[in-house]
Amino acid sequence: MRTVRLPSGDEVPALGQGTWYMGEQPQMRAQEVAALRQGLDLGLTLIDTAEMYAEGGAEELVGEAIRGRRDGVFLVSKVYPHNASRKGVAEACERSLRRLGTDYLDLYLLHWRGSIPLSATIEGFEDLKRVGKIRHWGVSNFDTDDMEELAALHSGGNCAINQVLYNVRRRGPEFDLLPWMKTQGIPLMAYSPIEQGRLPGRGALTEIARRHAVTPFQVALAFTLRRPDVIAIPKASDLAHVAANRQALDLQLTDEDLALIDQDFPPPRRKVRLEMI
């Protein structure tokens, strides 16, 4: 498993597992738990979830999937912006820990910016670090100006990750956000790295897939994973999808492949405001 280095020096898998939309349908629970466990077996030991996902249902699902295997998992969850005061962060974290069946998170993220000052959120995160409830903290959906503001705050330099929307169709971060984060040694965690399956049925991805005897979705995922400073967290709720995601990590796109992708999905030539879905 290829890894990505956090600012602390810790290494995490470059390919993890997302859980957005998991835990919403009781009839899917056994299948989703099995998919997450298979991912762990394949080395996809980073699991990302959030208190927002199914209003805690996804965290409960993850808790079941990692039971008995917690030590081998890099566990990520996220706090709602309206819970991100100094006191609110602590309370939200405790609720997430109970649902997940663990006593600590490896990484805790602010899901997106809200009205609560960032300084208060950072204080809450640092409190949780001091008492061992979280090992690292970071942010999500922060654009370059947000990251610069964060870095200027007391303890803001302790940010470990920025999780944003980034994939072959959403390349805006390549213009300024990724370069800025690289100078700070902060990796990007890409959510929806295959655009939730909404990819063109023809064109560059299909042609490259034919060349390599893979699927267009695997090509799109390999594109996101091509950078050494990016972690991808696709969701996979069935065993076949999990296996396909893992295979994409071994797909090496050629310069010719990348040039073809640039034709269909041009890299940004100017600043593009960070997108969210």
Helix (H, G, I), strand (E, B) or coil at 89: helix
Return the SS3 of 187.
coil
Q: Which of 117, 62, 125, 139 is nearest to 93 (CA)?
A: 125
Q: What angle do CA 107, 79, 86 make, to 5 degrees?
A: 95
Is 166 one of the catalytic residues?
no
Cα 102 to the center of its chain, rounded Å:
20
Q: Compute the Cα dihedral for 261, 263, 267, 273 and give only its sign.
A: negative
DSSP H stretches of helix in the chain:
29-41, 57-66, 86-100, 118-130, 144-151, 177-184, 204-212, 216-225, 239-248, 255-264
Q: Write 95-99 long-range contacts (CB < 8 A, 24+).
A: 95/51, 95/56, 96/51, 96/56, 96/59, 97/133, 99/56, 99/59, 99/60, 99/63
Q: Alpha-carbon distance 216 to 32, whole Å? A: 23
Cα separation of 3 and 229, whole Å?
A: 9
Token pair 């399956």: residue: 197
Handedness of CA 234, 247, 204, 213 (dihedral sign): negative
Closest Cα partner for 6 from 145, 184, 215? 184
Catalytic residue among 53, 108, 166, 191: 53
Which residues have a catalytic role annotated?
A: 53
